[in-house]
């Protein structure tokens, strides 16, 4: 399963890239606002850190203006993946861009039927938001299971990009189900390293090492 970082914070992206875990980055208008950075500039900077897809989202609601925005964004780098909302105009834009060889991430997916539409429109990625489902009292991971089943039934190549990931269990379940990608805040990705027995093990080894009075360097 590929790991994308869901952030526009440059230092955090660099830090994750150094671990070799980073396969791409997703942003959205809220994350750009939170970063306080210029959208075009920060997107270009992110593309310089990772070789993987960098999702940059259009904000227009109509197809013609979405295409104009996408043209500006895809000129930043070949790895820019245009993010469009799951609407009729969003999917028209998805079809036009993918036919033109540009990657498209269809976002704000909350149902398996919506995911089916995105795959039929040729989306490179579909982003079902699991955390927001959970917030709303429905099980986000069941949506991932349904989409996996439907995509496998028909051999769709659209990659399932689990989004709105809030905790390590979302990551584990995504991998169990066979999602292609998950995007999570850096804090969640880093928490995957944590295990109390790893910490306890390190402390025990260090205590015994002290007793030897030796030094490696």
Report the residue number, 8 or 76, with the smaller CB distance to ligand E4P.
8
The minimum distance between CB 115 and ligand E4P, in angstroms, equals 14
Q: How far is CA 1 from CA 91, 131, 162, 175, in A?
A: 25, 18, 10, 6
Q: What size, in residues, is the chain?
A: 217
Of 14 and 132, which CB lies nearer to ligand E4P in the complex structure?
132
Catalytic residue among 83, 92, 120, 200: 83
Q: What is the CA radius of gyration of the chain?
A: 20
Q: Are 52 and 81 in contact (CB under 8 A)?
A: no
Contact residues for ligand E4P, defined by CB under 6 A: 6, 26, 28, 107, 127, 129, 131-132, 163-164, 183
- Both tokens assigned to 35: 């970063």
Closer CB to ligand E4P, 43 or 107, in the complex: 107
Which runs of consecutive H residues, i.e. helices, occur in 60-214?
Answer: 63-74, 88-99, 112-120, 130-135, 140-154, 168-177, 186-191, 196-212
Indicate if 83 belongs to the active site.
yes
* Minimal distance, residue 1 CB to ligand E4P, in Å: 15
Q: Min. distance of Cβ 182 from ligand E4P in angstroms?
A: 9
Give the active site residues: 83
């Amino acid at each position: 399963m590929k790991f994308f970082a869901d952030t526009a914070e440059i230092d955090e992206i660099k830090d994750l890239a150094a671990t070799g875990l980073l396969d791409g980055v997703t942003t959205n208008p809220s994350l750009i606002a939170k970063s306080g950075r210029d959208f075009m500039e920060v997107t270009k900077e992110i593309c310089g850190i990772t070789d993987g897809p960098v999702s940059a989202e259009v904000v227009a609601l109509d197809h013609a203006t979405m295409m104009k925005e996408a043209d500006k964004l895809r000129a930043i780098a070949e790895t820019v993946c245009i993010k469009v909302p799951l609407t009729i105009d969003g999917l028209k834009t998805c079809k036009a861009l993918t036919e033109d060889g540009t990657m498209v991430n269809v976002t704000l997916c909350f149902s398996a039927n919506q995911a089916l539409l995105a795959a039929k429109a040729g989306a490179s990625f579909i982003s079902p938001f699991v955390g927001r489902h959970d917030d709303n009292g429905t099980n986000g991971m069941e949506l991932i299971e349904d989409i996996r089943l439907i995509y496998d039934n028909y051999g769709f190549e659209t990659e399932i990009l689990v989004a709105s990931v809030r905790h390590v269990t979302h990551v584990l379940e995504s991998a169990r189900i066979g999602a292609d990608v998950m995007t999570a805040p850096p804090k969640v990705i880093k928490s995957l390293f944590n295990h109390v027995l790893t910490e306890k093990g390190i402390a025990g080894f260090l205590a015994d090492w002290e007793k030897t009075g030796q030094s490696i360097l």
